[in-house]
Structure 1
Amino acid sequence: MTRLDQQWFKSSFSGGNDDNCVEVRFFDGLAHVRTSTTANSPVLVFNRGEWEAFELGVFNGEFSMPA
């Protein structure tokens, strides 16, 4: 396992169920996001501005899943 692999983390709200979680790591000023079901899954990479815009959208309820 490389040093970068050890830096992934999941939300404390995941409940330990790996089937419905994403993992995040911050490295070199970027946010990396992947599914937690497969360690070598594709990774989405966001710069600080993109990540902060996403966080603010989540905080303000802009990304709520439709019923």
Structure 2
Amino acid sequence: MSAEALQWFKSTYSGDEGGQCVEVAASPRTIHIRDSKNPEPTLRVTPATWTAFTTTLK
């Protein structure tokens, strides 16, 4: 799936002033992660890896 076809989300903690934000998009087998100011390349991880990462942050 191309990055353009994904629905990207950014954190609710991100403001609208155009700062650097991390954006995330989910597809069935992959979680895509990118920098809003530099959208290419994207980092791709498995859903299990993403869950482990976000669980660790909590």
TM-score range, shorter chain: 0.7 to 0.9
Q: Which position in structure 2 is the counterpart of 1:64?
A: none
1:9-60 residue CA offsets vs partner (Å, 9 max, x unmatched): 1011101243321100001321100000133x2111110111111011110x
Q: Which position in structure 2 is the counterpart of 1:24?
A: 24
Q: Which position in structure 2 is the counterpart of 1:48?
A: 47
Q: Which has the larger radius of gyration?
A: 1
Structure 2 unmatched runs, 5+: none
Q: Distance in 2 between matches of 1:24 and 1:36?
A: 10
**Larger relative contact order (C-alpha < 8 A, sep ≥ 6)?**
2
TM-score by length of 2: 0.79
Q: Distance in 1 between matches of 2:13 and 2:24?
A: 14
Q: Distance in 2 between matches of 1:20 and 1:3?
A: 22
Task: Report the AA paired with residue 25 of structure 1.
Answer: A
Percent of matched pairs sharing the same residue: 36
Q: What is the RMSD computed on CA atoms of the aligned residues? A: 1.5
**Structure number having the greater helix percentage:** 1
Structure 1 unmatched runs, 5+: 60-67
